[in-house]
Amino acid sequence: MDNDNWIIDMLKEGAGMDGDSIKAAVKKKLDEFPSLTEGAALKMIATEKGITPIKKKLRISDINEDIKHLNIVAVVKRKFEPRKVMIKQTPSTISNMIIEDQTGIINVVVWDTKKVEQIQKEASEGDTISIVNAYTRKSMDGEHYEIHLGTGCAIKIIPKPNDDIRPVDNVNKIEKISGITDTQRRYIVGGFLVRLFTGGDIFITRCGICKKRVVGTCEVHGEKAISKTMLISGILDDGLSSIRISFFDKVADKLLSISKKDSLEDKLNDISFGIYNLEITGVPNKFNNVISLNVRDIKPASYLL
């Protein structure tokens, strides 16, 4: 019942109940509906007493379950460009944000077009955002939660950080995409795959010995060394800048395995949703003075951008 203390406090404050009468009311509910949890019983009691059982003053580190009605105040750490996606065959606009408070950092997925526009127009990095009636879902890596803003929620942007929730600076290993310059070293960057180039054939022909792309056969090593290799290219965006990235062979497989869809085509379309925050380890490649990144490893990201 420890996790439900906030509802008990609400019942005490809002409904004038004492500990004993709350216990009795919970027991009565559980007798009536044996499959209820105590928390659900408390929420039913609160609703019957005219109290909306929304947890107040929740902090990011408290978000460790599916929450249907979430209120939270945090600081906008990173705002991403909106992008067009298909949701149930309907074109739609979504965006992402990273927000933080003193207890942590969390990804926000904005599904509601009006809120996407409001955030683009009003919010800057460092602003305070107040979110009412959002919900949470597990992220792709299954280890974090994300905040989802649908049509039922409301947001308010206050154009400066609130001192009570000012985040502490966190040191992390993730570098900015704009800092990728040295082709002699590896970089670890984070961001969203905002675009995948999946229009054409994603298999290329390469010579297994000289590793070069060839047409038909390798002039040096002949046909024996020829193999088909998967190549998926895309654009990674960390909210500040973007870079073209390429996934070959096993990393391409790993990218596709992030999607829970079955067929290759479905996977490619699923990932093009661009809602997955990814951590990419890669080696820069310079061609015609344009730098791209060859991915060596990929995983659904922690939120340390």
Contact residues toward Zn ion (CB under 5 A) are 207, 209-210, 218, 220-221
Please state whether beta strands 70-79 and 145-149 pair in parallel, antiparallel, or not at all (unpaired): unpaired
Which residues does 224 contact at the CB level (< 8 Å), separation at least 6?
Answer: none
87 vs 220, beta carbon nearer Zn ion: 220
Nearer to Zn ion, 23 or 221 (CB): 221
As to burial, measured by CB atoms within 10 angstroms (0-12 exposed, 13-18 middle, 19+ buried), residue 187 is buried
Long-range contact pairs involving 53-60 (C-beta distance under 8 Å, separation at least 24): 53/7, 53/10, 54/133, 55/6, 55/7, 56/6, 59/101, 59/102, 59/103, 59/104, 60/99, 60/100, 60/101, 60/103, 60/104, 60/105, 60/106
Cβ at position 247, least distance to Zn ion in Å: 22
Which residue, judged by CB position, is nearest to Zn ion in the bound state? 207
Nearer to Zn ion, 33 or 203 (CB): 203
For the beta carbon of residue 253, count every other beta carbon within 10 angstroms: 12
Contact 277, 107 (CB under 8 A): yes
For 198, phi then psi, to 5°, come to -120, 15
Nearer to Zn ion among residue 137 and residue 228 (C-beta): 228
Comparing CB distances to Zn ion, the nearer of 179 and 208 is: 208
CB of 215 vs Zn ion, minimal distance in Å: 12
Smallest gap, in angstroms, from Cβ of residue 151 to Zn ion? 56
Smallest separation (angstroms) from Zn ion to the CB of 212: 6
Smallest distance from Zn ion to CB 250, Å:
20
**Closer to Zn ion at the Cβ: 12 or 221?**
221
Please, what is the minimum distance in Å from the beta carbon of residue 204 to Zn ion? 14
Distance CA 8, CA 274 (A): 40
